[in-house]
Amino acid sequence: MDLVLEGFRQAFLLILRGDHEVMEITWLSLKLSGLATMLSLLIGVPLGAAIGLRRFPTRNLVLGVINSGMGLPPVVVGLFVSIVLWRRGPLGFLELLYTPSAIVLAQFIIATPVVAGLTAAAMQQLDPRLMLQLKGLGASTWQALMLLVREARFSLLAAVMAGFGAVISEVGASMMVGGNILHYTRVLTTATVLETSKGNFAIAIALSVILLLLTFTITMTITALQQSGSNRA
Amino acid sequence: MTPLIELRDGLVRHGRRVVLDIPDLAIQEGERLAIMGPNGSGKSSLLRILGLLEVPTRGTVRFHGEVPDKSQRLAIRRRMASVFQASLLCDTTVHANVGLGLRFRRYPRVESDKLIRHWLDRLGIGSLAFRSARTLSGGEAQRTSLARGFVVAPEVLFLDEAFGALDAPTREALLLDTETILRDSNITVVFATHERAEAQLLATRVAILLDGRIAQIDAPTRVFAAPASEAVARFVGFENILPARVLGVTGGMTDVEVNGTLIRVGGTGRIGESALICVRAEDIRLLRPEAARLVSDRSTLLSATVRRVMPAGGMFRLDLDAGFRLRVLVNRHLAEAGTLAEGSQVHASIPAAAVHLIPVPELAHRAAASSVA
pLDDT digits (tens, 9 = 90+) for B69-78: 989 999 999 9
Q: H-helix or E-strand containing B158?
A: strand B156-160
| Inter-chain touch A151–B100, beta carbons under 8 Å | no
pLDDT digits (tens, 9 = 90+) for A138-163: 999 999 988 998 899 888 999 999 99
Task: Please give the average per-residue pLDDT across B207-214, as a whole number.
Answer: 96
| Inter-chain touch A233–B78, beta carbons under 8 Å | no
| Inter-chain touch B53–A132, beta carbons under 8 Å | yes
Query: What is the 3 state secondary structure string of chain A?
Result: CHHHHHHHHHHHHHHHHCCHHHHHHHHHHHHHHHHHHHHHHHHHHHHHHHHHHCCCCCHHHHHHHHHHHCCCCHHHHHHHHHHHHCCCCCCHHHCCCCCHHHHHHHHHHHHHHHHHHHHHHHHHHCCCHHHHHHHHCCCCHHHHHHHHHHHCHHHHHHHHHHHHHHHHCCCHHHHHHHCCCCCCCCCHHHHHHHHHHHCCHHHHHHHHHHHHHHHHHHHHHHHHHHHHHHCCC
**How close is the nearest chain A Cα to the Cα of B216, in Å?**
27
Q: What is the CATH number of domain B5-233?
A: 3.40.50.300
- Tell me which chain B residues have a C-beta less than 8 angstroms from the C-beta of A232: 132
Whether the predicted pLDDT of B373 surpasses 50? no
8 A C-beta contact, residue B78 and residue B135? no
Beta bridge partners of B328: B318
8 A C-beta contact, residue B175 and residue B159? no
Beta strand pairing status for B253-258 and B240-250? antiparallel
**How close is the nearest chain A Cα to the Cα of B204, in Å?**
23
Q: Tell me what pLDDT residue B176 has.
A: 94
Considering CB atoms only, which of B91, B104, B158 is closest to A138? B104
**How close is the nearest chain A Cα to the Cα of B179, in Å?**
21
Beta strand pairing status for B345-351 and B325-331? unpaired
For chain B, the domains span 5-233, 238-369
Q: Tell me what percent of the residues of chain B surpass a pLDDT of 70.
A: 94
Sign of the Cα pseudo-torsion (A28, A31, A37, A39, in order):
negative
Mutate to test the interface with A, among B48, B73, B88, B190 (most CBs of A within 10 A): B88
Helical pair A141-151 and A129-136, crossing angle rounded to 10 deg: 130
Task: Please tell me which of A99-113, B157-171, B324-338 the model is most confident about, judged by mean pLDDT.
Answer: A99-113
Q: H-helix or E-strand containing B175?
A: helix B168-184
Mutate to test the interface with A, among B53, B104, B106 (most CBs of A within 10 A): B104
- Tell me which chain A residues have a C-beta less than 8 angstroms from the C-beta of B149: 137
Please name the residues in contact with B13: beta carbons below 8 A apart, sequence gap of 6 or more: B19, B57
Whether the predicted pLDDT of A233 surpasses 50? no
Classify residue A233: in a domain, yes or no: no
pLDDT band at A226 (very low <50, low <70, confident <90, very high): confident
Lowest mean pLDDT among A36-40, A41-45, A137-141, B250-254: B250-254
Rounded Cα distance, A162 and A213, in Å = 16
pLDDT digits (tens, 9 = 90+) for A162-196: 999 999 999 999 999 999 999 999 999 999 999 99
Question: Could you tell me where the DSSP H helices lie in B18-62?
Answer: 43-50
**How close is the nearest chain B Cα to the Cα of A143, in Å?**
7
Considering CB atoms only, which of B84, B88, B152 is closest to A138? B152
Q: What are phi and psi of B148, to 5 degrees?
A: -60, -35
The full DSSP string for B343-373 is T-EEEEEEEGGG-EEEE-TTHHHHHHHS---
Q: Which CATH number fits domain B238-369: 3.40.50.720, 3.40.50.300, 2.40.40.20, 2.40.50.100?
A: 2.40.50.100
Classify residue A127: in a domain, yes or no: yes
- CA–chain centroid gap for B186, Å, is 21
Write the single-letter amino acid at B158.
F
Task: Please give the average per-residue pLDDT across B149-164, as a whole number.
Answer: 94
Coil, helix or strand at residue B107: coil
* Measured CA angle at A191 (ends A188, A194), to 5 deg: 155
Nearest residue on chain B to A232, judged by CA atoms? B132
pLDDT band at B337 (very low <50, low <70, confident <90, very high): low
- Rounded to two decimals, the ipTM of the complex is 0.83
Count of structural domains within chain A: 1
Could you tell me the CA-to-CA distances from A43 to A39, A46, A100, A109 in Å, in that order?
7, 6, 20, 10
Could you tell me the CA-to-CA distances from B215 to A17, B21, B35, B223 in Å, in that order?
85, 11, 11, 10
8 A C-beta contact, residue B320 and residue B326? yes
pLDDT digits (tens, 9 = 90+) for B16-25: 999 999 999 9
8 A C-beta contact, residue B233 and residue B247? no
Please name the residues in contact with B314: beta carbons below 8 A apart, sequence gap of 6 or more: B332
**Count of H-run helices and E-run strands, chain B:** 13, 19
**Residue B234: how many CB atoms within 10 A of its CB?**
15
Q: Tell me what pLDDT residue B24 has.
A: 96
Task: Please give the average per-residue pLDDT across B29-46, as a whole number.
Answer: 94
Whether the predicted pLDDT of B138 surpasses 60? yes
Q: Tell me what percent of the residues of chain A surpass a pLDDT of 70.
A: 97
Note down the domain range covering A34.
2-228
Whether the predicted pLDDT of A232 surpasses 70? no
8 A C-beta contact, residue B10 and residue B20? yes
Beta bridge partners of B206: B34, B218
- CA–chain centroid gap for B325, Å, is 26
Q: What is the dihedral of CA B127, B132, B137, B143, to 10 degrees?
A: 60
Global pTM reads 0.82
8 A C-beta contact, residue A25 and residue A211? no
Q: Tell me what pLDDT residue B46 has.
A: 96
Beta strand pairing status for B32-36 and B205-210? parallel
8 A C-beta contact, residue A114 and residue A70? yes
- CA–chain centroid gap for B258, Å, is 29
Beta bridge partners of B311: B316
Rounded Cα distance, B87 and B137, in Å = 11
Rounded Cα distance, B58 and B101, in Å = 29
Lowest mean pLDDT among B101-115, B183-197, B208-222: B183-197
Q: What is the dihedral of CA B363, B368, B370, B371, to 10 degrees?
A: 100
Rounded Cα distance, A102 and A93, in Å = 13
Q: Residue B340's closest CA among B299, B309, B310?
A: B309
Give me the CATH number covering residue A189.
1.10.3720.10
CB pairs under 8 A between A and B: 59
Classify residue A114: in a domain, yes or no: yes
Q: Tell me what pLDDT residue B87 has.
A: 77
